[in-house]
Amino acid sequence: MKTDLYKIDNSIDKLLSGKNTLFLDNKELNIIKSKLKKTDYKIYYPNKSSERVILYKNEIPKISLFKINSLFELKHNEIMGSILGLNINSSYLGDIVLYNNNYYFYILSELNNFIKDNLNYIGNKKINLEEIDINYLSNYEREFEEFNIIVSSLRIDNIISKIIKTNREKVIEIIKDKKVILNYEVLSKGTYILKENDIFSIKRFGKYKFIGIIKETKKNNYMIKYLKYK
């Protein structure tokens, strides 16, 4: 997947003029940090495990936290799909968090009224949104299962095939059906080489974080580590 260079340049311009960025994933964050001095920005983490953060210079950005109330069981990918399906730019959306069997999500406060008026269903499941104190999840820390596997390459289709224990052809079908989300965007090509801290989800299989290479084996394969979200 290509980095949105316009977003990177625009974020830098905003910071240099004293404004805050939109939500940034880890890759975007590292690129921007490499182009600026440490005195040019501060990082706002909505909670201890935040994967999507906002850079700011002076004032802490205005962010809202919503709890999703529903009588039905919800899934992370359904929630993301329903929110982005409202034609909301993914950069306005922060982390989606599962805590005590309830889902929450962060969003820039300028979209509060829009999200309240338009997000009434997750998929075909009726829901009700409740805006709560932004600090409610400030001490939240995610839980993961940790795995090490051996792979022949760092291509995402190759790694997914190992994780879900299927062949590459099936993974290609899954990607074509837009069932893989990488760094909050639909994955279009299985040839993408995973980078450290990339986050991806596979419909019906879960959400994962790629940690990186542990070591190379004698047969020129890689032992890698990844985390599965609980």
pLDDT band of residue 125 (cuts 50, 70, 90) is very high
Q: Is the pLDDT of residue 1 over 70?
A: no
139 in a structural domain: no
Give buried/exposed letters for 194-229 (b at 16+ CB in 10 A, else e). Answer: beebbbbbbeebbbbbbbeeeeeeeeeebebebbee
Chain segment 25-42, per-residue pLDDT in tens: 888 998 999 999 999 999
11 and 33 share one domain: yes
Contact criterion met (CB below 8 Å) for 142 and 49: yes
Residue-range definition of the domain harbouring residue 151: 144-229
37 and 69 share one domain: no
115 and 82 share one domain: yes
Chain segment 43-96, per-residue pLDDT in tens: 999 999 998 999 999 999 999 999 999 999 998 889 999 999 999 999 999 999
Chain segment 133-161, per-residue pLDDT in tens: 999 999 999 889 999 999 999 999 999 99
Q: How far is CA 209 from the centre of its chain?
A: 9
Q: Is the pLDDT of residue 19 over 60?
A: yes
70 and 49 share one domain: no
pLDDT band of residue 211 (cuts 50, 70, 90) is very high
95 and 166 share one domain: no
Position 202: which residue type?
A: I
Number of domains in the chain: 3
CA-closest candidate to residue 49, choices 170, 217, 202, 229: 229
137 in a structural domain: no
Q: What is the residue whose two structure tokens read 């419909």?
A: 203
pLDDT at 5: 87
Question: What's the whole-number average pLDDT of the chain?
Answer: 94
138 in a structural domain: no
182 and 198 share one domain: yes
195 in a structural domain: yes
Query: Is 113 exposed, middle or buried (CB count within 10 Å of its CB: 0-12, 13-18, 19+)?
Result: exposed
pLDDT at 2: 54
209 in a structural domain: yes
The enclosing domain of 165 has a CATH number of 3.10.290.10
123 and 51 share one domain: no
The enclosing domain of 120 has a CATH number of 3.30.70.330
122 and 107 share one domain: yes
Q: What is the largest CA-CA distance in the chain?
A: 58
For residues 158 and 178, give the distance between their C-alpha atoms in angstroms, rounded to a whole number.
17
pLDDT band of residue 101 (cuts 50, 70, 90) is very high
Domain end call among 108, 132, 156: 132
151 and 224 share one domain: yes
Domain end call among 86, 108, 132: 132
191 and 171 share one domain: yes
CA-closest candidate to residue 22, choices 146, 126, 110: 110
For residues 218 and 175, give the distance between their C-alpha atoms in angstroms, rounded to a whole number.
31
88 and 36 share one domain: no
156 and 221 share one domain: yes
pLDDT at 96: 95
